[in-house]
Amino acid sequence: MSFKILPKAALSEWIARLLTTHRVVGPRPFHDRFIFDEITSPEDVHLAYPTTLLPPKKYLLPQREELLRFDLKTGTLEPVLDAQPTILLGVHTCDLHAIQLLDRVFNNTYVDQHYNARREALTIVSVECLSPCTEFSFCKSMGTLSVTEGYDLHLTDMGEDYAVDVGTEKGAALLEGVEAVRDATSADYERLNRTLSEKWPRFPYRLEADVSDLASLLSVSYDSDLWEELGQRCLGCGSCTMVCPTCYCFNVVDEVDFTLNAGRRYRHWDGCPLQEFAVVAGGHNFRKTNAARQRHRFFRKGKYQMDAHGLVGCVGCGRCGEVCLVHINPVDTFNELARRRVPVSRRHQEALT
Amino acid sequence: MITPLRETLEQTSLFLPTIAEIVAVRDLTALEKLYTLALPGGMSLGHEPGQFVKVSVLGVGEAPISISSSPSRSNGTFELCVRRVGDLTNVLHRLGPGDRVGIRGPFGRPFPMKRFQGKDLLFAIGGLGLAPARAVINQVLDERGKYGKVIVLYGARTPGDLLFKDELETWGQRSDMELHVTVDRGDATWTGNIGVITTLFPKVQVYARNTVAIVIGPPVMYRFVLMEVLGKGVPEGNIWFSFERRMKCGVGKCGHCQINHIYTCKDGPSFAYSEIKHLEEALK
């Protein structure tokens, strides 16, 4: 929409102003790491953070989210929709890509009003990533190191100033009446272009296949021995899915309060690597082995989401690789599949002989 | 103006059930009961054979249950055949007429009844598979002229496990259909077939090219029945299954029912063999 300049010196004042009208959530230190959390003063926010333990997904799909409340005496029930106006500050581009996927998932065929209520109440202020987060991140390989849409405001750190890309009216409203904000000049455009072009060499390519080739790589790797090897290592703890910005699978559970007169139905995060994920009443497990569950997870990331929603299911944030106790990560997995891929001509020859 | 229940999902919340009343309960076996349910005034279930609903008992949870009654016999009510097997169904079995449960749905892709018209129908049904199959069979019997031969093969563990015994008797007496029942283990009174369902196949003759096979039963049954129907020459696109999976949402989001990339709740639960034969997770 338009391009503005916000001097860094005015950032605190701007955030203080946002705090008067909205709940503000942003990256803040937590022990020696960072988390997305509610901000109470501008000093809490660290926009130049590496990565967060959990993605900002938790503000759209909370770990535990009330769906319904019911009264057991009267047998009545009512839906719970949370629409607290919230500004999400400092979202990295990988996480923004993940939110775009979630937007599609929760509006595909059936519209999820609970997700949309939170989504519509959210104003997203993303930040341009200028250096790699961790040794595990591989956003450049996944094509998520930049964004062109999905944000309300997008900030790029240019030293003394932030370049502010205004994406929506909702974003523009956050800047209204802020005196320090000015229109960008042609010199600012030059500064921004330089900042952006200088950032790319700092990020390594880590995938040995092109991201657009992932779905087809997986489609010829369904019977790979690698799944069994990963299955042998995997502990089935589900940590990978708990930290993933694109994992959205959930379980739905009822809870009755201590009076036994009322209760609630809520959904909570669930994950396909967990042993009981596909178990039906009676005990049959439709995905019995760690190997099959690991394969399913990686197929969701590299192929199924792309097929169903047109967006890649892994955004390269690196969180799952970092938390995995047995060092399973998407980069090594996809690269190993690429190395083991049998060339088409050889498959043809083998089929003929 | 009759509102289809489905429309309620588009209003405030797709997770909000509509409270229905249990109007009748009938014991079918020691484990299975048949519930007749009525939606509040002015609302219709509007289902098709092969679809399911999510049944809620507030405070306990929600489970997917296939609809057992055919649309042709749903005069403001519908029927669910429920086996006592999990948390929700154990509680459900303690409920009776006048009690209330929550209903969402109907969900899932129904059987393509139009495509079945003019075909000979060969049902191969195991155990609780008769619950969804009954909706199809009764729909066919109520529009009998639209279909060719109707053959029902039904297998249960023991005579005591046979569902809908009264209807089986009626079907057995009809001259416009063929019914073969078998049990894995007989008892003192049983004079019928003994053996797994595949032992019934030599008894029936079909014109394979014009036959639709409808196969519903426990996971272990599919592989063996499939060999029989493929062996008879029924085309892969004419072999239809209804799959059971864990389902927490019914609307293609929670992930539990996925068969590879397919969501059983939304893309199924009815599938032609030709649609899923390449999916390793389908027939396991």
Residue B52 pLDDT exceeds 70? yes
Q: What is the 3-state secondary structure (H, E, C) of B47-116?
A: CCCCCEEEEEECCCEEEEEEECCCHHHCCCEEEEEEECCCHHHHHHCCCCCCCEEEEEEEECECCCHHHH
What pLDDT does residue B1 have?
59
Half-sphere exposure in the Cβ direction for B128 (13 Å, CA):
19
What pLDDT does residue B40 have?
93
Between CA B81 and CA A135 the distance in angstroms is 55
Between CA B47 and CA A136 the distance in angstroms is 49
* Distance between B187 CA and the closest CA of chain A, angstroms: 25
pLDDT in tens, B157-180: 999 999 999 999 999 999 999 999
Size of interface A-B (CB pairs under 8 A): 128
Strand partners, A2: A166
* Distance between A274 CA and the closest CA of chain B, angstroms: 11
> pTM value?
0.94
Decide the pairing of beta strands A161-166 and A2-7. antiparallel
CB atoms within 10 A of CB A218: 22
* Distance between B162 CA and the closest CA of chain A, angstroms: 18
Sorted by where each begins, the domain ranges of chain B are 3-107, 113-242
Sorted by where each begins, the domain ranges of chain A are 2-202, 211-352
* Distance between B105 CA and the closest CA of chain A, angstroms: 12
CB contact under 8 Å between B266 and A109, yes or no, is yes
- CATH of segment(s) B3-107: 2.40.30.10
Q: Does B24 touch chain A (CB under 8 A)?
A: no
What pLDDT does residue A351 have?
72
Fold (topology level) of B113-242:
Rossmann fold (3.40.50)
Percent of chain A with pLDDT over 90: 93
CB contact under 8 Å between A248 and B255, yes or no, is yes
Please state the length of chain A. Answer: 353
Name which residue leads in pLDDT, B161 or B4. B161
CB contact under 8 Å between A278 and B245, yes or no, is yes
Whole-Å CA distances, A239 to A244, A245, A318, A328, A344: 9, 12, 13, 11, 36
Q: Which two tokens stand for residue B9?
A: 């999902």
CB contact under 8 Å between A250 and B61, yes or no, is no
Tell me which residue in B61, B89, B266 faces A254 most closely, judged by beta carbons: B61
* Distance between B61 CA and the closest CA of chain A, angstroms: 5
pLDDT in tens, B29-48: 999 999 999 999 878 899 99
Best interface-test mutation with B: which of A67, A69, A70, A77 has the largest number of B CBs within 10 A?
A77
Average pLDDT over residues A51-58: 97
Between CA B281 and CA B221 the distance in angstroms is 15
Residue A14 pLDDT exceeds 80? yes
- Provide the ipTM: 0.92
Closest CA to B126 of B56, B193, B67, B184: B184
Q: What is the CA radius of gyration of chain B?
A: 18
Between CA B168 and CA B178 the distance in angstroms is 11
Closest CA to B244 of B260, B215, B263, B264: B264
pLDDT in tens, B201-219: 999 999 999 999 999 999 8
Query: pLDDT band at residue B103, thresholds of 50, 70 and 90?
Result: very high
CB contact under 8 Å between A251 and B244, yes or no, is no
Q: Say if residue A350 is exposed, middle or buried (CB neighbours under 10 Å; 0-12, 13-18, 19+).
A: exposed
Residues in A closer than 8 angstroms to B105, CB to CB, are none
